[in-house]
Chain A
């Protein structure tokens, strides 16, 4: 990101002079409440566009793409893990992963099943989110995020709704999988125990731009 500014109704919410996260890195973004952490992730994912500046992801200037191209880019290149999991309730664990693949234009049932196996939920293929524990739901969300072999995984407070032990296992799983696959991992968190497990941490409030 370079020279990025974003405001809502005239109120600045994010200002980044320059931030570069290398490919394959595992990075934490932190900051006080209201410092624009979620806005940051939304800019990277192309959900939002900055008022000024450029956002380049895997060599693509995301903010310059049309909305439809940003949607496609997000489907193919970005994997999202949310604090509240955001699984679709009417769909099974397997179907939630297939849904992630659908919008990238390809569904691969075998890959979806292997991803569930990778996150330790091989025997939960047909379970709906309401039938899974919170930790299991977040694992399904991680599998969904990996469905299309993205360039980057964005995790927005992935342990926010989990107990410390479960949260620790989720962070460990994310780091392990991304290290194996070479995906860049960006975790937004304000939890000290999560920050401690990462080498690279950036506080957004220290990145004010011009």
Chain B
């Protein structure tokens, strides 16, 4: 028998109101935990996804759209740039690696990226990590055949694809049809053969399908409409150092053909924008917790009238005023603790659900079960709020007169 026994029995005696108040605390804590986790993890994920792309060169317009489209395989392409620009950049002394990309087609909800084999062979997708094949081989890429295709030459195309780790239903040897513009777009006649499957990279590339770039221009409808002949969507650059990247970006941005942007900078700007939404969400969840704390105060305060006799009995048995005060404060704090722990669990569940959505939509990996130290602060804050909420009814208990409380009419 201890004070905690008394506290827990008091909570158990008012099961419904205890459950409801703890649940409202849990809800607020869950939102706080989920917002903190998703914000931090997605920022980390997006930042990691932008690694390796020193510069992205594309059509003039929105930098965010270009990065989202090229790096994260989201949004539409802002436009096209001349293939000739890629050929110039490829031989630029400031460039270590240049990779052309062409987008516009989809298989189900997976973006099809036309590119050269250099992306999958030489590009560092994570620090010290290049693309690796889990199965099969890279697609066949022929730069001469690409030039002829871009010029509109009629010849038999080679349609090969390597799929990312999270593209399901396309094993090596399978074929697929591409649709223009999205899952409900017009289907092309051509079929691509999957020749390789990549290992997971933890980036949006896991959701993409990479095809040999020349096949993009061998599509009959593209050739017939002379769509994009001589043009590509973007060029991915790895430069020889940050000064080279700055220098090159300045030159391109001041030219008429294209714009160059550093994806990492755009990610920072993106999260600064999102940060305002985060603050709002956190403010709302703090409000939920505060309201729950007030409801605990009201609930326990209202119960003081019916507990007056019980308090007087304890005092008659020798409990000090400070003891009955402590019992009430501990009760409020315990309700908040229970709600807080439930909220931490629920918050991680929410994060796990969001992680699935983010991974499938943006290819960003979030660690849903990773415990963050700031969650301890959230729990501590909630318990402190509970103790504070318990103070007002505790003072009422403190002031209970034993004789009055024990009288038959009380």
Residues of B within 8 A of A (CB): 1-3, 5-6, 9-10, 12-13, 309-310, 313-323, 402-403, 406, 408
13 contacting pairs across A/B (C-beta < 8 A): A38-B403, A47-B316, A67-B320, A71-B315, A71-B319, A72-B320, A75-B317, A76-B318, A89-B310, A90-B9, A90-B12, A90-B13, A100-B317
Residues in A whose Cβ lies below 8 Å from that of B309:
86
Are A80 and B12 in contact (CB-based, < 8 A)? no
Please state if A86 and B316 are interface contacts (CB–CB under 8 Å): yes
Contacts of B321 in A (CB 8 A): 67-68, 71
Interface stretch, picked from A102-110, A116-124, A192-200, is A102-110
Residues of A45-77 contacting chain B, CB below 8 A? 45, 47-48, 67-68, 71-72, 74-76
Known interface pairs A86-B309, A91-B9; A80-B317 also in contact (CB < 8 Å):
yes
Nearest 5 Cβ contacts at the A-B interface: A75-B318, A98-B1, A103-B318, A90-B13, A103-B319
What residues of A have a CB within 8 angstroms of the CB of B314 in the complex? 88, 99, 103
Chain A residue at minimum C-beta to C-beta distance from B316: A80
A103 touches B323 (CB 8 A): yes
Number of A residues near B (Cβ < 8 Å) is 33
Distance in Å from the Cβ of A190 to the closest Cβ of chain B? 14
A103–B5 Cα gap in the complex (Å)?
A: 13
Q: Given the complex, which residues of B lie within 8 Å of A45, measured CB to CB?
A: 316
Report Cα–Cα, A53/B12, bound state, in Å: 45
Cβ of A35 under 8 Å from chain B: no
Q: Is A42 an interface residue (CB 8 A)?
A: yes
B402–A47 touching, CB < 8 Å: yes
| A-side contacts of B402, CB under 8 Å | 42, 47
Flag whether A95 is at the interface (Cβ < 8 A).
yes
User: Which B residues are in CB contact (< 8 Å) with A27?
Assistant: none
A-B Cβ contacts below 8 A, count: 71
Closest A-chain residue to B408, C-beta based? A84
A101 within 8 A of B: yes
A contact patch SS: helix
List chain A residues, Cβ under 8 A from B1: 95, 98-99, 101-102, 107
- Select from chain B the residue with minimum beta-carbon distance to A80: B316
CA distance A39 to B403 in the complex (A): 8
Task: Collect the chain A residues with CB atoms within 8 Å of residue B5's CB.
Answer: 95
- In the complex, given contacts A42-B403, A82-B406, A100-B317, what are 20 additional A-B residue pairs having Cβ atoms less than 8 angstroms apart? A39-B403, A42-B402, A45-B316, A48-B403, A68-B321, A71-B320, A75-B318, A80-B317, A83-B408, A86-B316, A86-B406, A88-B310, A88-B313, A91-B9, A98-B1, A99-B317, A102-B3, A103-B314, A103-B319, A144-B317
Residue of B whose beta carbon sits closest to that of A67: B321
Given contacts A74-B318, A86-B313, A103-B318, contact A47 B403 (CB under 8 A): yes
* Chain B residues in 8 Å Cβ range of A71: 315, 318-321
Nearest-CB distance from A55 to chain B (Å)?
15
Query: Whole-angstrom distance between the alpha carbons of A134 and B325 in the complex?
Result: 31
Residues of B within 8 A of A48 (CB): 403
Shortest Cβ distance from residue A82 to the other chain B in the assembled complex, whole angstroms: 7
Q: How far is the CB of B331 from chain A (nearest CB, A)?
A: 12
Q: How far is the CA of A83 from the CA of B30 in the complex (A)?
A: 50
* Shortest Cβ distance from A76 into B: residue: B318
| B-side contacts of A100, CB under 8 Å | 317-318
Known: A42-B403, A95-B1, A95-B5. A68 touches B316 (CB 8 A): no
B403→A99 contact, CB < 8 A: no
Residues in A whose Cβ lies below 8 Å from that of B322: 68
A128 to B: closest C-beta gap in Å? 11
Bound state CA distance, A39 and B402, in angstroms? 12
- For A74, list chain B residues within 8 Å (CB): 316-318
**A48→B13 CA distance, assembly (Å):** 31
